[in-house]
A and B are shown apart, each in its own frame.
Chain A
C-alpha cells in the first residue's frame, strides 16, 4: 500500500490530484462520470463579488495541442454561490476550493470574507492571473507590488488556507511568487493560461470575440513545468502545478519539478474521467518504481 496523501501546509489531500478552476464547473457536471471522493480536491468555477455575464461568443478556439478561451469569468456572484451552490455541493468528500477573482481589491476582500464563513470550504485560490477580464484579474498578478497588495488585503480577512494562482505572462514568475509568499500566501498554484490569439485567414477575423484569450492544454506544458521548477527553487511554500496535464506521466513530471499537488484542467473536456485515471496512474508509477510515499517524489528531479 503506497501513500498518496500530501499536505499543502495544514490542508491535507488524500492524493495530489485536483481539478483546475473553470474546467470542472462546480463538480456536479462530473458526477455522472467519476466519484469525486477519489480526488484530492476540486477547484470550483471562478467566483466574483457580483454577477458577471462573461464575454460574448465566440469564446473558444481550438489550437494545435490546446485551446484558447475567453470565457471572462461568467458566474452568478459570491452570494449566489453561498446561498444556492454551496448547499448542494458541501457534502462532497473531497476538498472544495473556491477560485476567487475580482476587478478591484475590495471585491477580492469581500468575496474572500464571505467564503471564509463557509464551513466546508477549507481554502480559496486567489485568481490574480485571469487574462480574460478587462480590469483587474491578470493585472494584479503581473507586478510584484499589486500582487502583494491584493494578497495582503485578503490575508487580513481570510483565515484558512490561501492559495494564490500565478500568471505565466510575466518576465520572472519567481519574483511574483516571492512577493505573495511574503504577504502570507499558504501556497501558490501555477500556471494560469498563457495569453494568445488565433486568426481565421480566410475571413481575416479573430477567432475570439475578445481577439486575445488564454491558451491551455499540452501546448503550454513545457512552459508550466519550467515555471514550477523555477518557483520551487525560489520559495518555501508548497506549489500546486498545472498546465497541460493529460495523464499520470505528466502529473509525475510536475511533482518531480517541485509540485506538491497538481491540477487537471483542459484534459477534463476531452476525457471527463481523466482525474480518476491519473490517480490510478500515479499509484501504478509508484509501485513500478518501488516508491512508498508520494512525498519522496516532490522536487526529486535528478539534475546531475
Chain B
C-alpha cells in the first residue's frame, strides 16, 4: 500500500465534549484504500512546542465524500491547535500508515474502547458488520457526558457503555460489564489506555478468545525509519508504526 503525503481540506470540526472533537478532512485526490486500524500522521502548524507530526487513528472513512474523520483528544498544545482548525483550513497528512485489524467472517465480535482509544473502533465496526459478523461495541468512559457518538456505533451493531461514576450504562470498567459473562465472543478487538487493554487481553486469554490490541507508542516518523516506537514482542523489538499498531496479544510480552 503506497504511502502518501498530501494536503487535506478541513470540512468540519465537531466538538463532542470538553476534551474530544472529530475533524472531517477532505482529500483533494481520490482516497486510496484505507483499512481499519490504520493511522495518519498530521502536521501541526503554529505551535512552538510541537516539533513532530501527531499520529492519529483513522476514526472513519467516507469514500463518497472523499473524507477521513479523525477523533482527537486535546492533550497538549499540538492537539489544541488541531482543535482550532476551521472549515477551509489545510491539514498536511502522511497516510495510510500501519497494519490493520483482522476481519473475521460470521463471528461474534467484541470491540472494547476507552478514552480516545475508541478512535479506530467505529471504522472497524463497519468492516466487521460488512463481513457478516455480529458486532458489540463496549465503551468505557468516566461519566455520561463522555458517552458520545453512540448512534454511529448502533449503525453496525450493539452498543454498551460503562461509566466510572455510574451516571450512564453500567458502573465500573469495561472488563466488569455483565455482557462478558452473558455472551460468548469469538474475537475481541481493543484500543485505549494500556491498563484497560491489558485487562481486556487477560479476559481474552482466560477465555481462549483471539484478541488484537492497538498500541499508541510515541513515534517520530510513523513509517519505520526512526525505530523510536518499538514494542517488545516474542520476536524482539518491532516498530509499532509499521508492524503495528495492531498486535495479537500472543505476540506481545504482556
A67 to B52, CA, bound (A): 8
A33 to B3, CA, bound (A): 7
- A32's nearest neighbour on chain B, judged by CB, is B3
B224 within 8 A of partner (CB): yes
B234 within 8 A of partner (CB): no
Given contacts A23-B225, A29-B225, contact A56 B232 (CB under 8 A): yes
Given contacts A56-B232, A67-B220, A69-B220, contact A62 B2 (CB under 8 A): no
Binds A, one of B43-51, B122-130, B144-152: B43-51
A interface footprint on B197-235 (CB within 8 Å = 1, 0 otherwise): 000000000000000000001111111111111111000
Binds B, one of A90-98, A101-109, A265-273, A284-292: A265-273
Q: Which of A37-52 contact B (CB under 8 A)?
A: 45
A95 to B5, CA, bound (A): 25
Tell which of B4, B53, B237 has the most Cβ of chain A within 10 Å: B237
A65 to B135, CA, bound (A): 44
In the bound complex, do residue A29 and residue B223 qualify as a contact, i.e. CB atoms below 8 Å apart? yes
Residues of B within 8 A of A66 (CB): 51
Interface of A is mostly: loop
In the bound complex, do residue B51 and residue A67 qualify as a contact, i.e. CB atoms below 8 Å apart? yes
B94 within 8 A of partner (CB): yes
Residues of A within 8 A of B230 (CB): 54, 57, 59, 74
In the bound complex, do residue B5 and residue A54 qualify as a contact, i.e. CB atoms below 8 Å apart? no
In the bound complex, do residue A62 and residue B51 qualify as a contact, i.e. CB atoms below 8 Å apart? yes
- B94's nearest neighbour on chain A, judged by CB, is A272
A60 to B2, CA, bound (A): 26
A interface footprint on B8-22 (CB within 8 Å = 1, 0 otherwise): 000000000000000
In the bound complex, do residue A58 and residue B218 qualify as a contact, i.e. CB atoms below 8 Å apart? yes
Chain A, interface size category, equals 20 to 34
- A219's nearest neighbour on chain B, judged by CB, is B51
In the bound complex, do residue A268 and residue B49 qualify as a contact, i.e. CB atoms below 8 Å apart? no
In the bound complex, do residue B2 and residue A74 qualify as a contact, i.e. CB atoms below 8 Å apart? no
Partner of A63, one of B3, B43, B51, B53: B51
A24 within 8 A of partner (CB): yes
In the bound complex, do residue B237 and residue A53 qualify as a contact, i.e. CB atoms below 8 Å apart? yes
A291 to B228, CA, bound (A): 40
Residues of B within 8 A of A61 (CB): 218
Partner of A54, one of B221, B222, B231, B237: B237
The distance from the CB of A53 to the nearest CB of chain B, in whole angstroms, is 6
B interface footprint on A47-89 (CB within 8 Å = 1, 0 otherwise): 0000001101111111111110101001000000000000000
In the bound complex, do residue A270 and residue B53 qualify as a contact, i.e. CB atoms below 8 Å apart? yes
The distance from the CB of A214 to the nearest CB of chain B, in whole angstroms, is 12
A186 to B225, CA, bound (A): 28
Q: Which of B17-40 contact A (CB under 8 A)?
A: none
Could you name 27 residue pairs across A and B whose Cβ atoms are closer than 8 Å?
Answer: A23-B225, A23-B226, A24-B225, A30-B225, A32-B2, A32-B3, A32-B4, A33-B3, A45-B227, A53-B237, A54-B237, A57-B217, A57-B231, A58-B217, A58-B218, A59-B227, A60-B228, A63-B51, A65-B51, A74-B227, A74-B230, A217-B51, A266-B220, A268-B225, A269-B220, A270-B43, A271-B5
List A residues at the B interface (Cβ < 8 Å): 22-25, 29-30, 32-33, 45, 53-54, 56-67, 69, 71, 74, 217, 266, 268-273
List B residues at the A interface (Cβ < 8 Å): 2-5, 43, 48-53, 94, 217-232, 236-237
